[in-house]
Structure 1
Amino acid sequence: MHFPTTCPTCAREVPAEFADSLIHELTCPSCGARYVVYVRKQKFEVLFDLGTRALLEGYAREAVASFAAAQERFFEFYVKAFALERAAGREGDFEEALAALDGTWRHVASQSERQLGMFALAYLLREGRAPDFLTPGALGSDFRNRVIHRGVLPRREEVEAYAARVFALIDRLLTALGPGAAQVELAQERAFAAHLAGLPEGVVAVFEEHPGMFRARRFAGPGGGETAPKATVGPSTPPLNDAQAFAWALAERGAWRGPLKRR
């Protein structure tokens, strides 16, 4: 999936394809300038936005795959946030903690069930209670498996319901993480800095923050463009259900200008 970038030399729009590292090395076809675009966004956010774009453009089955992948990558994000948050409270080097975390994650990188187990334990240790929301029904596992593994062609309303469930879970857990999420973002910034240090002379670095379903809600403060309540609210106010939360987020996202904005 592509997103537009602007050449810092001649201002021509140049399309870029999302890279797994979110580091994009580009050459302007007009003036030949070389530049690198660093996208400050987590992989689960990109995947969920790609799913939203697919859904809005009529590709319901493809959207399910992106939403399912976004949920799995968010569980990885949560585990890393918890581990780095704990490491930040102890003496030691952040890079060492990050290397130890990466080395541990490699043992489960290709096994989604073990990743889910790591997430369940991280949630228990951080929140002090069992993750009772990890049932197949709550996660929409049967629907996801029927679409992805059995080739079922879903109706749009089924995909919207699944997306709403995934969205509400991620949004709830992001809210619970609070400042803990900053540790993973710090790890991304360090990866960007390491790449930046190796750039040859004449290559321009461009840092971008793309709007998205979670980024708009997580980073918009009072008066900063947030137009809807969060999925998890105070005890005096009844929480939004999954469909309402997802609808609010779609409305918020439609108010932003960005590479994934609905046409």
Structure 2
Amino acid sequence: MKLEFHCWKCAKGTPGRRVTAPFNDSSVYRFECAQGHVYEIVLAQLRFEVLAETGMQALVDGYYRDAVASFAAALERVYQLYCEIVALSRDIDETVFKSTWKLVASQSERQLGMFIGLYMLENGDVPPQLPKKFVEFRNKVIHQGLFPAENDAVDFGQAVVNLVQPLLNSMMPRYTQEIEAFMIRHFENAEGAGRSDRNKHRVFFDFILQFDTEADDWDPAPADLSAELVARRSREIAD
């Protein structure tokens, strides 16, 4: 799975203008095009968005177990994000939240339980959840070594996207200030990493999930993974 970047100093059509780098565990990426133009960029998207994108890329490449694992991990990181944003809205100190999250970080069920409780208290309603059949499917893939068929992996990814995107949409207007503060902290942490002698550019890529406080549309529909899969494979053939 990789991140693609087009050098904006090279004219369109210049050989080697498109460069790639594998996703990493930070938000900082260093690129050098064939003409020697060097960039160090800060990826605007958060961990859950990157995980969902790697899931989409795994579908394109035919790695269906990896796709399921990535979408499942993305969902867990969304639960974490929700809890952290709610904590910010309640003026909970960052260190207190981190210490609390450590108590649940090693077990998915504990993370889910923390999300369920906070969502109920915040909204007075039952939180959105994956249908039972997809939970069972994920467990078979992750814990029992099941090799999923393409359509099953796509269906699972679609179920995650169908759950996550509306949740993100609902968070935007309600927690706008908290999300903006969270993103400022994200950028500050990222821009403090890497080489300090090089200017870093913030770049927002077109990933499968949309979570952008500066977007014109705060209520985008969930992506259609089947259509996206066809479109991306067609682009790969064209390239």
Cross-structure match for 1:154: 148
Cross-structure match for 1:74: 78
Do 1:81 and 1:184's aligned partners in 2 also have CA atoms closer than 8 Å?
yes
SS of 2:55's partner is helix
In 1: Cα distance, 2:62 partner to 2:129 partner: 29
Cross-structure match for 1:186: 181
Cross-structure match for 1:53: 57
1:254 deviates by: 8.3
SS of 1:50's partner is helix
1:38 deviates by: 0.3
1:81 deviates by: 1.5
Cross-structure match for 1:167: 161
Cross-structure match for 1:239: none
In 2: Cα distance, 1:167 partner to 1:4 partner: 22
**Structure 2 residues without counterparts, runs of 5 or longer:** 12-16
Cross-structure match for 2:21: 16
Cross-structure match for 2:14: none
Note closer, same or farther for the CA distance 1:172–1:60 as it changes in structure 2 (3 Å cut): same
Q: 2:44 aligns with which of 35, 40, 45?
A: 40
Do 1:36 and 1:206's aligned partners in 2 also have CA atoms closer than 8 Å?
yes
Amino acid aligned to 2:66? E
Amino acid aligned to 1:117? G
Q: Aligned pair 1:113/2:118, yes or no?
A: no
Normalised by the length of structure 2, the TM-score is 0.78
In 2: Cα distance, 1:220 partner to 1:250 partner: 24
Tell me the matched-pair count: 229
SS of 1:5's partner is strand
Do 2:172 and 2:213's aligned partners in 1 also have CA atoms closer than 8 Å?
no
Cross-structure match for 2:200: 205
Q: Deviations over 1:187-226 (max 9, x none)?
A: 243243255357533x12111001112228986536xxx9
SS of 1:38's partner is strand
In 2: Cα distance, 1:172 partner to 1:182 partner: 19
Do 1:174 and 1:181's aligned partners in 2 also have CA atoms closer than 8 Å?
no
Note closer, same or farther for the CA distance 1:195–1:116 as it changes in structure 2 (3 Å cut): closer
Do 2:180 and 2:213's aligned partners in 1 also have CA atoms closer than 8 Å?
no
Normalised by the length of structure 1, the TM-score is 0.72
**Structure 1 residues without counterparts, runs of 5 or longer:** 88-95, 232-244
1:124 deviates by: 0.8
In 1: Cα distance, 2:124 partner to 2:85 partner: 16
1:252 deviates by: 7.3
Do 2:26 and 2:190's aligned partners in 1 also have CA atoms closer than 8 Å?
no
Q: Deviations over 1:138-178 (max 9, x none)?
A: 6x111011112212222222122211211111012112212
1:40 deviates by: 0.5
In 1: Cα distance, 2:112 partner to 2:211 partner: 27
Cross-structure match for 2:171: 177
Amino acid aligned to 2:137? F
In 2: Cα distance, 1:213 partner to 1:252 partner: 9
